[in-house]
Amino acid sequence: MKRFGIITFLALLEFSALFAQYNPYPDKSIFAEKRKQFMEIIGDDAVAIIVANPEYKRNNDVDHDYRQDSDMFYLTGFEEPESIAVLRPGAEKLRYTLFVRKRDKLRETWDGHRFGVKGAMETFGADSAYTIDEFDKMLGGILRGAKTVYHNFGADEELSESILERVSVNAGRSDLSMKNARYELGEMRKIKSDWEVKSLRKAIDITSEAHNEAMKSARPGMGEYEIEAVIEYIYRKHGVQRPGFPSIVAAGSNTTTLHYQTNEMKMKKGDLLLVDIGAEWGYYSADVSRTYPVNGKFSKEQAAIYQIVYDAQEAAFKISRPGTSRKELSDIVRNSVIDGLIKVGLLSGTLEEIIKDRSYKKFYLHGFGHWIGLDVHDPGSYTEDGESVIMRPGMVYTVEPGIYITEDDSVDTKWWNIGVRIEDCVLITEKGYELLSDKSPRKIKKIEKLMRKKGLAQKD
């Protein structure tokens, strides 16, 4: 009896530990809404075959950390590799089928829990489920009656090629075509539901806290990697599984490299530090950038460039509302940057002349922003019916003007190695916009004030 009690206790402990782990979406019905919407878009004569990302070898017998394909997750919430979701809008009953790995006690002892066929139905709401090795022989039945097969090309190239080949073999008719499901799903993903915005808020709040701790911690003589360590500590403290992208922690001349990711240089007095980071929460990624002086005080030239970038952001915020086009946002940011660069003498001529000869591109190298969501650069077209996309409630995007001045004989040396990017996340609401990343300071005086405090790196 005593032995039975111990075994029961250990079993319960194992069960409770399993379900006490990171689980941001205990209610899986939220994914059913996405499936319903997607099936309405593709129509009753279509079938969708959405596959998981494969596992990737890092070295020898070590894999890279696994992350599910964003579209697969969007429709299912299912995070395991070697899985396929089949959606058949025209089916009477079995509209949603999952193919998954079978339960395997030995492999689960080594690698962790698998949901298996039973879990695919009970936990993830599949109408039917089978082991992944049954997919190939069932493909012919899956395709029966379909005119279009939608597939998320790019997730697993080897599997996609196999599906393409099998579609050709099994179809046996000329009216069956394949389409990339990425387009329809990308357009769906442009408008975020309430639960998606909730996940983005959390990711952005954690990222903002990481920025604030990084600002307080930065000191001359520290390595960029030490600031990265502070950032990732904040992530893990909040239970973040992974960054949404590799952190950019760039000091001095590195601030002028847009996607610098080495993060190994020692920071010097007089350097700016450009930090572009994003925590991922529930698969949704933040993307927030801050730039500040390592010694806590902007120089005259650094402050001048910073203010130009800040003013360009503010110009975009003022017109961020339903009905504003992406082109209007892009134009107002570009024009604000050009006006600022003219005032400090880095550009000469009129606004119109500079736009025409594109001389501003020497310092302003990228667009004003991008969609964010399940991917840090979320899919979704920037045009609709040949025109610039119009902002609508539920759209979330970044506003991230940047000015980058490298060592260049045509520019006064006082401007050299000044790279400034400020990036914030904007949600379009019914009445206007909400700045989601306002918990980390952007104004010069507020940044300098925060930097006078001790950060995690200075605490005993």
Q: Which residues participate in catalysis according to the annotation?
A: 61, 259, 276, 287, 366, 370, 377, 400, 404, 421, 423
Q: What type of residue is 308?
A: I
Q: What type of residue is 42?
A: I
* Cα–Cα distance measured from residue 208 to residue 188, given in angstroms and rounded to the nearest whole number: 27
**Tokens of residue 442, six digits:** 């952007």
Measure CA 196 to chain center.
12
- CA separation (Å) from 207 to 13, 333, 360, 440? 33, 24, 31, 9
- CA separation (Å) from 151 to 34, 128, 159, 222? 16, 19, 11, 48
The tokens 């990737």 sit on which residue? 56
Q: Exposed/middle/buried for 70, CB within 10 Å: 0-12, 13-18, 19+? A: buried
Looking only at the bridges linking them, the beta strands covering 148-151 and 177-180 are: parallel
Beta carbons within 10 angstroms of residue 318's beta carbon? 12
Do 375 and 398 meet the contact criterion of CB atoms below 8 Å apart?
no
66: left (phi over 0), alpha (psi -120 to 50) or beta: beta
* Cα–Cα distance measured from residue 268 to residue 376, given in angstroms and rounded to the nearest whole number: 30
User: Greatest CA span in the chain, whole angstroms?
Assistant: 90
- Collapsed DSSP state (helix, strand, coil) of residue 371: strand
Ramachandran angles phi, psi of 10, nearest 5°: -65, -40
Do 316 and 310 meet the contact criterion of CB atoms below 8 Å apart?
no
- CA separation (Å) from 20 to 16, 65, 119, 193, 281? 6, 21, 17, 26, 16
Do 303 and 435 meet the contact criterion of CB atoms below 8 Å apart?
no
**Tokens of residue 136, six digits:** 């190939």
* Cα–Cα distance measured from residue 321 to residue 338, given in angstroms and rounded to the nearest whole number: 23
Do 174 and 144 meet the contact criterion of CB atoms below 8 Å apart?
no
Q: Which H helix or E strand runs over 249? A: strand 248-251
**Tokens of residue 214, six digits:** 């990084």
CA pseudo-torsion sign 35, 38, 43, 46: negative
